[in-house]
Structure 1
Amino acid sequence: MSEQEQEQKQEYAFHPADLIEYAMDKPIGAARAALTVALENSDVDHEVIIGELSGNMELNQRLLKKLTGALRKNAKKIIGELPERIQSLQLERDLGL
C-alpha cells in the first residue's frame, strides 16, 4: 500500500470539543446542533447549556470555552469543570425539579 493510500485511510479522530469550537462563532442554530451532538454521552444535558446561552456573545464564548476544556479532560464527566450555576441546573434536572 502506498504512503498516499495509508494517509487516506487514516481517519480523523473526532472529539466532541472540536465540534463545539467549530460552532462557537456560528449562528445559535449551529451551536445548538453542536451541543446536542457533543454532549450526547456526557453527564450534562445539552438543554442545560443551551438554556444558559444568552444574547451576550462574550459570556457565551466564556461558557463554551469552559465546556470545551471540560470535554477535552473527560468527555463523559464534565459537570465538575463547569460553573456552579450549570451544576445546580443539571442537579435540578436530574432530580426532576
Structure 2
Amino acid sequence: MSEQEQEHEYAFHPADLVEYAMDKPIGAARAALTIGLECADVYPDIIIAELVGNMELNQRFLKRLTVALRKNPKKIIGEMPARIQTTQLERGLGL
C-alpha cells in the first residue's frame, strides 16, 4: 500500500462502532460494545448489563458512552454513571 493510500485509510475508533449500533437490535449493540470496549478501563459486560428493552433509554446511555469514548477510548469509567463505577470497582477488588 502506498503512503498516499495509507493517509486515506479509515482509522477505526470504538465510538464509531457504538454509534452505528445505537439504533440496531440489542444483539448488535452488545456485539459492538464487546468489540468497542476491548481496551477500555471498564468490563464490557458491565456496560452491556445497563442495556434494557427500552431503546430510548439505551440510546441516551450509548450516546453518553460514545462521548466518553471520543474523549479517551481507554479511560471511560469516570464518565459512566455511579452504579457502573461501583460495579467496576467491586469487580476490580474481587468482591
TM score, norm. by length of structure 1: 0.88
Report what 1:24 is aligned to: 22
Q: Offset of 1:9 from its aligned partner?
A: 6.3
Report what 2:37 is aligned to: 39
What are the ranges of 5 or more consecutive residues in structure 1 without an aligned counterpart?
1-5
More displaced, 51-60 or 63-72? 51-60
The 3 A distance-change label for structure 1 pair 7 and 92 is same
1:55-92 CA distances to partner (integer Å, 9 max, x unpaired)?
Answer: 11121111111100000000100000111111111111
User: For residues 61 and 92 of structure 1, what CA distance do their matches in structure 2 show?
Assistant: 26
More displaced, 21-30 or 87-96? 87-96
Report how many residues are paired: 93
More displaced, 61-70 or 6-15? 6-15
User: For residues 89 and 61 of structure 1, what CA distance do their matches in structure 2 show?
Assistant: 21
Matches within 5 A, 1:45-56: 45-56=43-54
Runs of 4+ in structure 1 over 3 Å off: 6-9
Report what 2:57 is aligned to: 59
RMSD (CA atoms): 1.7
What are the ranges of 5 or more consecutive residues in structure 2 without an aligned counterpart?
none
Higher Rg: 1
